[in-house]
Amino acid sequence: MLTARFTRIKPTAIVLFYRQLALLLNSGIDIVKSLELLQAQTSSHRMAATLGEVITELRGGNRLSTALSKHPELFSKTSCRLLQIGEESGSFETTLKHLADYLEKEAVAMKSIKNAMMYPTIAAVITMVVMGILITFVLPAFSELYTALDADLPAMASILMSAGEFLRGIMGYLAVILVIAVGGIITYARTPAGKYRINSMYLRFPIIGRVIHLKELSRACRSISLLFHAGLPMPEIIRLTAQASNNAVIAEAFHDVEQDMIRGEGLSRPMEKNPTFLPLMVQMVKIGEETGELDTNLEAVAQNYEVEAEDKTRSLIGLLQPTMTVIIGLVIGLIALSLTSAMYSVYGQGL
């Protein structure tokens, strides 16, 4: 049971849960029986345990939205609020489908960013491993050989040997410094100020910063569109959108918008004050306020931003792959050239 609590549940599993629950309810099965069927078929121990607790809550007289809200690590405030609206309006099955569509698009957007960063991360790790093997095992063997032969090495080989010896000498200190640095960064990132600064830095990265920005805004547009369509008051919509944001800079921008809305400034005017909100989003919000089609306009903005983000992601991957290949080749080639030139030097000295 303890192990189940620490088992990660993928977003796609939550999407599948909502879709299957809507299907079972549409077929006429009551909600408790539907949840029991989903609990019996799931392969995740954590999901089964969670659904067991939810079923107990329902038998105790609580609504599904209330029961799910007691598991915020799996079911967000936005999701639970939408389900509550669906329960009150009598459109629960439709709400489940809309929620599943929203979460599915969100999961796809997050996966694309992770995929974009996977190749350079793997390439960097491989480079570090190869360099570590060369410095730890290969260079010492060659260094001992050349020292035993009392050979005069070329400048490049001599520098490489000295650098390798220096790195081996301080490797323990570097490991300690790295652990302290990573621990310090993680601790700082958990503070409000640290999270804000680091998220702000993310948005300023070349190319990837724009992708993160577009993904966050497209996600926010879909959230506002979905919540507005469900009939929630606008201040609550903006508050829930801010809480659901993964970036502290964008979350704070929405909090500022909420405060200005409470003062009666509407939605588009507060957005115009903050450069975090891109011009297309601001303009479409303004038109949506005038025409009453805010949800439709923001859905269109979300699609536009997602297309742009996908294009930039593909461009980023296309740029990173040859760049990392060249870097790996240069590093390994430099070491190989240095060792080869040293061997030729030894042979040239008749040793």
pLDDT at 95 over 60: yes
DSSP state at residue 132: H
Whether the Cβ atoms of residue 245 and residue 254 lie closer than 8 Å to each other: yes
pLDDT score for 152: 65
Q: Which tokens is 66 given?
A: 């209330």
Whether the Cβ atoms of residue 135 and residue 168 lie closer than 8 Å to each other: yes
Find the mean pLDDT for residues 151-174: 74
pLDDT at 1 over 70: no
Report the first-to-last Cα separation within the chain, whole angstroms: 69
pLDDT at 350 over 80: no
Residue with token string 């929405």: 254
Q: What percentage of residues in the chain have a pLDDT greater than 70? A: 90
Complete domains list, the chain, with CATH: 2-75 (1.20.81.30)
Highest average pLDDT, of 83-92, 228-237, 273-282, 320-329, comes from 273-282
Instruction: Name the H helices within 231-293.
Output: 234-244, 248-262, 268-272, 279-291
pLDDT at 3 over 60: no
**Mean pLDDT of all residues belonging to the chain:** 85
Distance between CA atoms of residues 278 and 333, nearest Å? 45
Q: What is the pLDDT of residues 146-157, one digit of tens each?
A: 667 666 666 766
Whether the Cβ atoms of residue 329 and residue 127 lie closer than 8 Å to each other: no
pLDDT score for 274: 92
Report residue 342's pLDDT band, with 50, 70 and 90 as the boundaries.
low
pLDDT score for 239: 92
| 190: exposed, middle or buried (Cβ count in 10 Å: 0-12, 13-18, 19+) | exposed
Distance between CA atoms of residues 329 and 322, nearest Å? 10
Q: What is the pLDDT of residues 15-63, one digit of tens each?
A: 999 999 999 999 999 999 999 999 999 888 899 999 999 999 999 999 9
Report residue 347's pLDDT band, with 50, 70 and 90 as the boundaries.
low
Q: What is the pTM of this model?
A: 0.76
